[in-house]
Amino acid sequence: MKRLGTVLAAATMVAMAALGLASCGGSGGKEGGTLTGTYASFPDYLDPALSYTQEGWTAMYDTYIPLLTYARANGKAGSEIVPGLAKSLPRISNGGKTYTLELRKGLKYSDGTPVKASDFTHAVERTIKLNSGGSPFYTAAIVGAEKFQETKSGGIPGIKTNDKTGEIVVELNRPRGTFTNELGMMFVAPVPAGTPMKNLSGDPPPATGPYEIVSSDPGRGWTYERNPQWEKNNAKLMPDLPSGHVDKIEITVVRNDSTQVNEVEQGSSDWMQALVPTDRYAEVKGKYEGTQFRVEPTISNYYFWMNTTRPPFDDLKVRQAVNYAVNRDALERIYAGSLKGIQQILPPGMPGYKKLELYPYDMAKAKKLIAEANPSDRDITVWTDDEPGQDEAGAYYQDVLKKLGFDAKLKVINADNYFTIIGNQTTPDLDTGWVDWFEDYPHPNDFFQPLLSGESILPTNNGNFAEIDDPALNAKIRKLGEEEFGPKQEAEYAALDREYMEQAPWAPYGTRTLSTFVSSAIDLDKVIFNPTFGHSLASFQFK
C-alpha cells in the first residue's frame, strides 16, 4: 500500500508538471530556504561530459539539461524520455539514420550566454576529446565521430547545426534503436562553446537547469544556487521541468554513513544521498518509514568482473568456477537485505530480463573446475572501494578466491577515485574486482554495449572492466542496438544474456534497493527518486 501511495503521489506530480503547475511552485509547502545534504564521497566528476556514476548524475540532474531528458518522476514514470532543451522528441528519418531536433529559442546559460544549437556539437566533441566513459555511445553511432576520436580534430561531419534556426541534425552510421535515450544522457548536455576541454569538476560550467553550481571543492563538497536565467528565460521555455523549491543547496562530503544518519535524524542535515548503512538500515526503516524514509527500487547490477585478457581469468573454466563459488545468499546478508541475488547481466525490471540460474552455489564443482584448469598464475589482485557493503563484498570475494586456491590480495581504493583508477588501463594488476551498474536508460542495450562490447574498451574511463571482446557477441550487441525495440528484440536480449553468462566475464551477485532518508523538515512525499538519475534536488521542499 505504501508503494501504491508513493506511486500515486508521483503520478500526481507528473500530471501537475504537465499542466505547468509544478514550475509555479503552487503545490503547498514552503518555498525558499537552504537545503543541506551529504554525500559519502565526492562524485567521480562534477562535469557533465565526464561523470558516469549515479552520484554524479544526481548532482547534475537539475543543473545540466540535455536536449532530451527524463521525466522528474518516481519509478517507471521516471523512465519516460521527454524534451529538454529541444522543443520535442527527435524526428527520425532516413531509415532510422537521421535524427532532427530543434532547440527551444531564447534559452540562456546561467552566465547569460545564449544557448546555441552548435553547443550540442561542442558537448559531443568535448565528451570524445576527454575520453569520457560515455564517448562510445557517440563514436560508434555518429558519422565521422570515430575518426574524430582518433584525430581529436576536424569536427564531426555527422552533426550539422544551424544557430539561427536552432536545428540540429545528427547523421548515424546505421540505425540505432537507443539513440533517443542516448541524447538524454548527461554527457551531451550542451555547454557554452568556449568551455575548456578539461575536467571542470572544480569549476563546473554554466548551467541550463533551475540550479547552478556556484562553488565546488573536490573531495569536500559543493554548493548550488538558483540559476538567475531560469526564472527570466528558461523556466517559461521548459514548463515541463520543475523550478525547484529551495533557494540554495549545500552538499558536504561526510565519509561516515552512520554520521550522516545521525545528522539527518538530528536535523542538522536535510538529506543523505547515500544509502542508509546496512547496520542502521533496520533501525531507520522501522522508525522512519513513511515519514522520513523510503525504499527505492533500482534497476542495477552488482558484480565481480574478471579480466578475460589476463591469466588466470583468460581461462573460461576459472571464470565459471568463480561463478559457482560466489554464494549470492552470503552477499544478500552482507548487504543486510538491501540486495537481491542474481546470476545474470540483465537485472529484474529491465526489458529482456529472463531469470537465469546457470551457476548455483557449488564449491565442490568450483574446485573441480579449478583443478581441471590448473592455472599457473595464482596471484590475483581484487579491487574494491571503501564504501560500506563494497569493502565487505570485496573481502568476501577475496576469501572465496583463497578458498579456490588463489593467492588473492585485496586492494581497497577510496570511492572518490575508484572508477577512475580501475578504468585506467595503465593501472597495474587489474585482475578482478567489484563494480556496480545502474541503468542509464530503460533499454537492455545499456547493460551490454558500455559494459561488455569490445568497442567500449577504453584506455581511460573504461567501462568494460572484464575487457571481453568477442567479435560474434559484439556484432549481436551492435545489431540489436540498431533495431527498434520490440518483443523479438526482448527475446534476443534474453538469449544474449545467457550467451554472455556462458562466457562468464562477470560473477553477478545482486540487484540493489536504495533509500531516501530526509530530515523531519522535508516533505518526503514530494521527493522524487528517478530510476536513472536518482534524487531530483528540485523536488525537495521544506514543510
Partner 1 sequence: MASESHPAPAAAAPTGRSPWRLALGRLRRNRVALAFLALFVLIALFVLAAPLWANHVAGTGPNTTHTLEKIEVDGEKREVVNREGKPIGPVWFGAGGRFFLGADGRLGRDEMVRLMYGGRTSLFISLVAAGLTTLLSIALGLLAGYYRGWTDSVISRAMDVIWAFPVLLLGIALGTALAVGGLQLGPISISGSSIWIPILIIGVVYTPYMARPLRGEVLALREKEFVEAAVAQGAGPLRVMLGELLPNLWSTIIVFFTLNIANNMLLEAALSFLGAGVQPPNSSWGTMISTGFDVISSEPLLSVLPGTMILLTVLSLNVFGDGLRDALDPKSKLRLEAHAGLAEPEGTPV
268/464 Cα distance (integer angstroms): 40
Q: How far is the CB of 386 from partner 1 (least distance, A)?
A: 6
Closest approach, Cβ 44 to partner 1, in A, equals 16
Looking at 281, 437, 533, 540, which residue binds partner 1 (CB under 8 A)?
A: 281
- Regarding 248 and contact with partner 1 (CB under 8 A), the answer is no
265 touching partner 1, by CB under 8 A: no
The span from the CA of 534 to the CA of 518, in Å, is: 14
CA distance 225 to 210: 9
Cα-flanking dihedrals φ and ψ of residue 517, to 5°? -135, 115
Q: Are the beta carbons of 143 and 183 closer than 8 angstroms?
A: no
What's the rounded Cα separation, in Å, for the pair 530 and 524? 14
Least distance CB 427 / partner 1 (angstroms): 7
Q: Which stretch binds partner 1 (CB under 8 A): 83-91, 99-107, 161-169, 330-338?
A: 330-338
Which segment (81-89, 179-187, 228-236, 272-280) binds partner 1 by CB under 8 A?
Answer: 272-280
- The number of CA neighbours under 13 Å toward the Cβ of 260 is 27
Nearest-angstrom CA–CA distance, 321 and 264: 44
- 137, 195, 153, 162: which is closest to 455 by C-alpha? 137
User: Which one, 391 or 492, has the nearer CB to partner 1?
Assistant: 391
> Residue 411 phi/psi, 5° resolution?
-120, 110
- Asked if 330 interacts with partner 1 (CB under 8 A), we say yes
Tell me how far, at minimum, the Cβ of 336 lies from partner 1, in Å: 3
- Residue 306-325 contact track with partner 1, rule CB under 8 A, x = bound: --------------------
Question: Which of 335, 438, 441, 533 is close enough to bind partner 1 by CB under 8 A?
Answer: 335
Contacts of 185 (CB under 8 A, 6+ apart): 66, 134, 137, 440, 441
Asked if 455 and 140 touch (Cβ cutoff 8 Å), the reply is yes
Q: Does 228 bind partner 1 (CB under 8 A)?
A: no
- Establish if 219 lies at the interface with partner 1 (CB under 8 A): no
* Min CB(395)–partner 1 separation in Å: 4
Strand ranges (DSSP E) for 142-210? 159-162, 167-171
Interface characters, 384-423, with partner 1 (x: CB under 8 A): --x-x--xx-xxx-xx--x------xxxxxx------x--
CB of 448 to partner 1, least distance (A): 30
CB of 413 to partner 1, least distance (A): 7
Question: Residues 150, 283, 372, 484: which binds partner 1 (CB under 8 A)?
Answer: 283
Measured between alpha carbons, how far is 465 from 449 in angstroms, rounded to an integer?
A: 12
Give 161's Cβ-side CA count (13 Å radius): 20
Contact pick of 102, 119, 182, 257 for partner 1 (by CB under 8 A): 257
Q: Which is nearer to partner 1, 384 or 530 (CB)?
A: 384
Size of the site for partner 1 (CB under 8 A): 37
Using the minimum distance from each CB to partner 1, give the nearer residue, 391 or 483: 391
Per CB under 8 A, does 433 bind partner 1? no
Residue selected from 8, 15, 24, 282 as contacting partner 1 according to rule CB under 8 A: 282
Nearest approach, Cβ of residue 468 and partner 1 (Å): 25
- Min CB(261)–partner 1 separation in Å: 9
How far, in Å, are 209, 226, 455 from residue 231 at the CA level?
10, 9, 42
Which of residues 388 and 531 has its CB atom nearest to partner 1 in the complex? Answer: 388
Residue with cell 529472463: 354
Single residue of 84, 158, 277, 534 touching partner 1 by CB under 8 A = 277
- What is the longest distance spanned by two Cα atoms in the chain? 70
- Which of these ranges, 221-229, 274-282, 440-448, 522-530, lies near partner 1 under the rule CB under 8 A? 274-282
* Chain centre to alpha carbon of residue 142: 22
Q: Which is nearer to partner 1, 123 or 400 (CB)?
A: 400
Structure letter (DSSP) for residue 230? I
Task: Write b or e for each residue in 2-36: b if 16 or more Cβ atoms lie within 10 A of its Cβ, otherwise e.
Answer: eeeebeebbeebbebbeeeebbebebeeeeebebb
Residues near partner 1 (CB under 8 A) are 256-258, 277-283, 327, 329-330, 333-337, 386, 388, 391-392, 394-396, 398-399, 402, 409-414, 421, 427-428
